[in-house]
Amino acid sequence: MASSSDRTAAAYPLLLLLLLSSSPLPCSASAADSGRLFPAGVQYEYESTTTVLAGGSSDNRDPAIGHRVVGRLLVANIWPATDTAGDKLLMLHFKSPKLQTWSKKSKNDVNRQFIDRKSRIDRFSDQPFFAHWRNGHIENLYVSSTNSLTEENFKKGIAGLFQFQLSNQHAVEYSTLGECNVTYSKINQNIVSKLVDGCVLPTTLPPEIKHPDKIWQGTLRSKREGLVKYNHESLVDVSLDEYHEFSTSFMNEVGASVSSKQHIELKETKPNDDVIKANTFKEAIHQLEKQLKLKLEKQNLSLKHEVKNCKHYNSCNKLDEVVYNYHDSLLDSELGKSKSAYGAIKVVDAIVNSDTKTIKKVLTDEKNEDIIVQLYDLLGAALNENSHKASMETLDFTNAKSVEKIERYLWSASINFNPKIEIIKSLLAITDENLASKKIADTLFNTVTAMASRLARYNHTDTNILLSGELVVKTLEKLEKCKLDDDECILTYIRALSNLKHPLSIEVLLSFAQHGNRKTSAYAMKTIKMFGPGLWDSRVLKYCNRIFFQLVKEQDSSTRTIALAILLESNPDYDLLKHVVEWLAAPGEEYEIKQYALELLKEMANQNETSARLLRTVLVRERLNHYGSMAQRGLSSCFSRKFINYNNITGLVKNSQQIYSGVTKRGSVDIVLEHDSVKYDLCSFGMFTTGLGYFTSLYDDSGKKDTSDEANLPATAGLELIVFGVHIRPFIMFSSQGQLMGHVWAGTGSDKTPIIQGISQMIEHLEYVPLSNGITAELNVKGMLSLDISGQIEMSLWNKNAQSVIEKNGGVSIQGSLKLDTDLVTDEVDFSLITEGLLHMHSDAEFATKIVLCMRIVFVDTNVTTIVSKSEKVHGLPHKSHTTTTRTHPVSGRTFALNQMVNEFCNTIHSR
């Protein structure tokens, strides 16, 4: 057996090996290798090429535009450091720079050639700049004054090529790209690859604007990689390539891309006698300034942002000129069309760059009287300090004649995803004033609550959360002061709670749902459903169970069906599904609510495979899969259909029609987009009626007399709209039998009549992409929605029939640009998407002896047009190139079937 001393002696080599393996050998080796590079007394001459190309997205194959800068780069270490820290003082001198662009004579992209252009690059100062280099990192630059930020940033891009490591390792580097994670991998003895990712933007860039919902942001894909080749004393060849591509979430081919390639190649080596003798780096810089008679400014590699906007070029389009140019696009007749949305973007851009005085001048111009309400739409879309001030100084909240203009401004502002807290407080102060009408009061309070809710959700600061919480308390206090029989007051503040979406309001809403009258209970239940599954806790589900099964008291049928919808969307268990299906088979319930409940079960099974399997299990085990439960006879329906399935986006149209006495008691058509398993509510159009009991005897052939309150309610009909999750006040068409008959005899609905119109901003995106070459790409995208919902109805008491159509027309325009703007040249790619969504609801009814009702939901044929324009301008010269590509994609329309009974009615009517 070995002694203790023998074992200790034997352990020494192992201990030494462990110590060596845990020490940073790769870094030391890298430092040693890089330390041998660029010895003092030698000058290296490189051929330098920096190329920038801009074009459409990868799905757009049209030739790119671009330019490149070529020249000779002289590099020398002019300070032989006496310490061992690895410090070097590199002199970098860019000589004979030339700007080159594509030759117009080139016929195709493969054989295109760059040719020299006269440009402002000739004004670049012929002065060297200096880099403090330490073990592969650029600590700082020392630069004399330059003629432009373009030149200064270009030099930083050149210096960034001399940041490298020569061994396998991960590093964090600071460069023109910001703070980035860099991975170095040795390919062979003298070649190292460089992969850059995870960059944090420099703080020198302006703030970005990004919609918090990813579907409205689009996608930016980036790739940065390089290659370093070296020999025993210098870099032989260095390249750094990067590619960035932006595309909208809706179509891959709508977007833009930019690529940059920096490349230096060693051409010649010469002796260099310009060597500074100094003991410290600081002393070396001091001597250098004396020698060159220059003042050198110490800088890091962060880019200095070049503000290149219309104010910089003194080329801002005046608001009155823009409004004049797009006046016809904003007319009432163009609402709901892409032309309206396209012109709106141009006007909003001009509003953002205008002061309050200019905006007020346009608003008060008599030539704009026919588009004045559309202009207030666009002021709400712009929603900055100047536009809001102009609106408040021109709108009179105490004048009943201003209702339309006020509401249009408020509706547009309520949808804006990036409201300012100062504007919210300004509007909040008006809510306590004497207003011209209840409509304004309703819309104003709902706008304030919607804006505060968005601000708190999207900009999660303590101040914003506090404001939202204060508004919840204020809304609940106002709701408590409403008289029990004042439905209008109660519903105003329930809608406000639906906009706030705050858990503090759940208890009050549940109380109204269970104990309120038919109108308030349905609204409260609908509001809870709008909150979404995130707020449906066990207490909510317990209340929904009581309400649907009427365990406490008889409930309104609308309230019950909404409660059931919540239960079925909350991963229902075996017992719940069993009780629902048993209830379907039980006698005594009105058959339309049973039909609607069955439709909800079918929709649940279509959307959730787990719940579908559980439902099948219940039907088999409990022997409930029979005619009595699964074959109801009503007209009520609830379904969803896909109308888009492209690019990871699913578009759904959801239809809900709860029928009572042959007419729609409560119905809605919702447009929902799904992206990466997240749902976005685009628009919900609902209708409600009461007291149309004239049709009861015609439709209900059961022989039973209706004794419920439904039959004795006054004749009313109204419409309600939810846009981007914001609840708009309802529109009442008639509220008594007299008003209804007045419309019938006067034929006031025979002509197409607008229900709601407006223009809103749905996309605003501003992003900066710094390139390694020193240029910053600016990505700017805006999208507008022009909405026109109108209706038409014809009724003949003589022929006992009626026809109606409700048209939901939406014009969409998305416009974006990728701009590379410098003092030398501007390259720009503009891209746009223009389309229209036309959803029409047709109803044909006959009621001579028995009601026959045919309903159809139709998506009308449309087109999606994409446009990509590329332009290049060399500043100081007439040279300019411009190309435009337009493509049109037809989208076929479709008609959605409701159910078998409605199909049979449609066949009966149309066969005549």
Q: What are the tens digits of pLDDT across the range 637-680?
A: 888 888 888 777 888 889 888 887 777 888 888 999 988 888 88
Helix, coil or strand: residue 91:
strand
% the chain with pLDDT above 90: 55
Both tokens of 10, joined, read 């034997």
**In this predicted structure, what is the pLDDT of residue 758?**
92
Q: Give the model's confidence band at 368: pLDDT under 50 very low, under 70 low, under 90 confident, else very high.
A: very high
- pLDDT at residue 19 greater than cutoff 90: no
**In this predicted structure, what is the pLDDT of residue 9?**
39
- pLDDT at residue 275 greater than cutoff 60: yes
Q: Please state which of the ranges 450-459, 546-555, 677-686 shows the lowest mean pLDDT.
A: 677-686
**In the predicted model, what is the mean pLDDT of residues 383-405?**
94
Global confidence as pTM: 0.87
Q: Please give the sequence-ordered ranges of beta strands (E in DSSP) within 332-426, or none if there are none.
A: none
**In the predicted model, what is the mean pLDDT of residues 96-100?**
93
Average pLDDT of every residue of the chain: 87
d(CA 734, CA 689): 9
**In this predicted structure, what is the pLDDT of residue 309?**
64
- pLDDT at residue 84 greater than cutoff 60: no
**In this predicted structure, what is the pLDDT of residue 641?**
86
**In the predicted model, what is the mean pLDDT of residues 114-124?**
87
Helix, coil or strand: residue 274:
coil
Q: In one letter, which amino acid is 383?
A: L
Q: Are 220 and 787 in contact (CB under 8 A)?
A: no
d(CA 304, CA 309): 15
**In the predicted model, what is the mean pLDDT of residues 388-397?**
96
**In the predicted model, what is the mean pLDDT of residues 167-191?**
94
**In this predicted structure, what is the pLDDT of residue 324?**
95
Q: Give the model's confidence band at 620: pLDDT under 50 very low, under 70 low, under 90 confident, else very high.
A: very high
Q: Please state which of the ranges 99-103, 358-362, 761-765 shows the lowest mean pLDDT.
A: 99-103
Across the chain, how many H-helices and E-strands are there?
25, 27
**In this predicted structure, what is the pLDDT of residue 710?**
64
- pLDDT at residue 901 greater than cutoff 90: no
Q: Please state which of the ranges 25-39, 202-216, 656-670 shows the lowest mean pLDDT.
A: 25-39
The more confidently predicted of residues 850 and 781 is 781
**In the predicted model, what is the mean pLDDT of residues 19-47?**
63
Both tokens of 304, joined, read 């200095």
Q: Please state which of the ranges 21-35, 210-224, 274-288, 854-868 shows the lowest mean pLDDT.
A: 21-35
What lies within 8 Å, CB to CB, of 853 at 6+ separation is 635, 662, 843, 844, 845, 902, 905
Q: Give the model's confidence band at 733: pLDDT under 50 very low, under 70 low, under 90 confident, else very high.
A: confident
**In this predicted structure, what is the pLDDT of residue 25?**
34
DSSP letter for 823, please: S
Strand partners, 842: 805, 856
- pLDDT at residue 481 greater than cutoff 50: yes
CA distances from 228 to 274, 293, 352 (A): 27, 35, 46
d(CA 541, CA 413): 34
Give the H/E segment covering residue 334. none
Q: Are 695 and 662 in contact (CB under 8 A)?
A: yes
- pLDDT at residue 227 greater than cutoff 60: yes
CA distances from 631 to 2, 132, 168, 591, 625 (A): 90, 83, 70, 11, 10
**In the predicted model, what is the mean pLDDT of residues 89-111?**
80
d(CA 534, CA 543): 16
**In the predicted model, what is the mean pLDDT of residues 511-520?**
93
DSSP string, 227-245: EEEE-SSSEEEEEEEEEEE
**In this predicted structure, what is the pLDDT of residue 83?**
62
Q: Give the model's confidence band at 700: pLDDT under 50 very low, under 70 low, under 90 confident, else very high.
A: low
**In this predicted structure, what is the pLDDT of residue 708?**
57
- pLDDT at residue 711 greater than cutoff 70: no
- pLDDT at residue 34 greater than cutoff 80: no
**In the predicted model, what is the mean pLDDT of residues 681-703?**
70
**In the predicted model, what is the mean pLDDT of residues 263-269?**
96
What lies within 8 Å, CB to CB, of 712 at 6+ separation is 691, 693
Both tokens of 364, joined, read 């008060």
Residue entry with tokens 């960034």: 160
pLDDT digits (tens, 9 = 90+) for 469-479: 999 999 999 99
| Interstrand relation of 235-247 and 65-77 (parallel, antiparallel or unpaired) | unpaired
d(CA 872, CA 109): 16
- pLDDT at residue 184 greater than cutoff 70: yes
Angle at 235 between CA 232 and CA 236, to 5 degrees: 95
Total Cβ atoms within 10 A of residue 701? 9
d(CA 461, CA 486): 37
pLDDT digits (tens, 9 = 90+) for 767-823: 999 999 999 999 999 999 999 988 887 777 777 777 888 888 999 999 999 999 998
Residue entry with tokens 């490149």: 68
Residue 808: CA atoms inside 13 Å, Cβ hemisphere, count?
24
Q: Please state which of the ranges 245-249, 444-448, 903-907 shows the lowest mean pLDDT.
A: 903-907
- pLDDT at residue 225 greater than cutoff 70: yes
- pLDDT at residue 30 greater than cutoff 60: no
**In this predicted structure, what is the pLDDT of residue 750?**
65
- pLDDT at residue 703 greater than cutoff 80: no
d(CA 343, CA 428): 31
**In this predicted structure, what is the pLDDT of residue 720?**
87
Q: Give the model's confidence band at 253: pLDDT under 50 very low, under 70 low, under 90 confident, else very high.
A: confident
